[in-house]
Amino acid sequence: MSKNKGPALYIHIPFCLNKCRYCGFYSEPLQNQNVNTFISALLKDLFSYDLHGPFNTIYIGGGSPSVLPRENLFSLIEQIVTRWAVKTEFTVEVNPTQVDEDFLKTLFGLGVNRLSIGAQSFDQAQLKFLGRNHDRQDIVTAVKLARQAGFENISLDLIFAIPGSDLQSWRCDLQSAIDLGVEHISAYSLTYEEDSPLKKDLDAGVVISVDEQTDRRMYELAIDMLTQAQINQYEISNFARDGFQCRHNLTYWANRPYVGIGPAAGGYWQNSRTLNVANVKDYVERINNGQSVFAQQESVTGVDLACETAVLNLRRTAGINLAEFQESTGYDAINLFAQAIEKNRQSELLQVEQGSVFLTRKALPIADSVLCDFASI
């Protein structure tokens, strides 16, 4: 990871072409918003921060930034690049059906050097279940066009434990992603967000979730297949070829500063953890009226900072680097978390070795239960 201590920038575009079944309340229909007004509000919010020098990384995600009218998305990127350079990595998330050769070449020409494609699955039945409007060929075409545009750093998002799926269908998804030769794969178990159509269907018995044992076996299959393909796990849900770990996300897990812009965007700036209001109209009105956009704001210092850093660090397969932890928090992790470390070492869920504390392979499918032991003292 880059040693640069500069901040990261995250911009959240909370729009989708259609309301995905699993998105929940934060997915806003674009046609109900004035796009120019929205982009102006984003930039006004960003320019209000007292920032000096370039961002270390930039990530524009959502939702789907590629659902924006192209001239608006290009203008947003151009204004950011003109005012702040990016030293290492500039990612934009896209949906497979929202890209073509001209779009991708323009993105690359503006300085975007990493693409994250929301594949979710290569199985048509599963894509239909999720409410996605693309198919296998759209994913293949998107990757091919991205290569032709010059992208050498491409990530695919995949979801497993989708109702109706099994180990064989998940194996096919993984193999399809591997065969495309991408540099990075994120693999997440399907979550049932509160207030989402999917969660309501689950509660009503319309949908039956994949059982816990199958979910775990799918996760372990992802680790095995991707590792064999030299796409190595570096975080609980993320895998990359050597040198292609997502630097932006590594900033989160190192608990380093990042600015969060847009509705429902989180941020960590000047020792303060923030969450913006989720409603687009409310966000824009607050910006234009000179009001704070924070729905939540909490100062994080002392032991709270140490606990938060430990939990985030442990998401990485490299775990807690003891020397870096002491430098960034002022605490000795071995002493501070002595009880939690000993408990989980005895259960073979944690390992302490060569100046680091990290999860064992046994712990990865149940990582949350270990992380909870570090969340407070």
Reported as a single tens digit per residue, the pLDDT across 240-296 is 999 999 999 999 999 999 999 999 999 999 999 999 999 999 999 999 999 999 999
Q: What is the mean pLDDT of residues 136-141?
A: 98
For 35-88, write each residue's pLDDT tens digit.
Answer: 999 999 999 999 999 887 789 999 999 888 998 999 999 999 999 999 887 778
Contact (CB, 8 A) for 132 and 98? no
| Stronger pLDDT, 19 or 197, i.e. the higher one | 197
**Cα separation values, 137 from 93, 119, 151, 234, 293, Å:** 18, 11, 19, 29, 40
The pTM (predicted TM-score) of the whole model is: 0.95
Please identify which residue in the block is written with the tokens 């392979």. Answer: 361
Q: What is residue 87's predicted lDDT score, i.e. its pLDDT? A: 75
Listed in order, the ranges of the chain carrying CATH 3.20.20.70 are 8-253
Q: What share of the chain in percent tops pLDDT 70? A: 94
Q: What is residue 204's predicted lDDT score, i.e. its pLDDT? A: 94
Scored b (16 or more CB within 10 A) or e, 248-268 reads bbbbbbbbbbbbbbbbbbebb
Confidence bin at 26 (pLDDT 50/70/90): very low
Which of the residue ranges 23-37, 48-62, 311-325, 363-377 would you say has the lowest mean pLDDT? 23-37
**Cα separation values, 160 from 119, 155, 230, 284, Å:** 12, 16, 20, 35
Dihedrals phi, psi of 92, to nearest 5 degrees = -130, 135
Q: Which two tokens stand for residue 214?
A: 């199958």
Which of the residue ranges 18-22, 98-102, 143-147, 352-356 would you say has the lowest mean pLDDT? 18-22
Q: What share of the chain in percent tops pLDDT 90? A: 84
Fold of 302-374: Arc Repressor Mutant, subunit A (1.10.10)
Fold of 8-253: TIM Barrel (3.20.20)
**DSSP code, position 206:** S
For 156-194, write each residue's pLDDT tens digit.
Answer: 999 999 999 999 999 999 999 999 999 999 999 999 988
**Alpha-helical regions (H) of 122-246:** 124-130, 136-149, 167-179, 197-203, 212-228
Listed in order, the ranges of the chain carrying CATH 1.10.10.920 are 302-374
Contacts (Cβ under 8 Å, ≥6 apart) of 215: 160, 161, 189
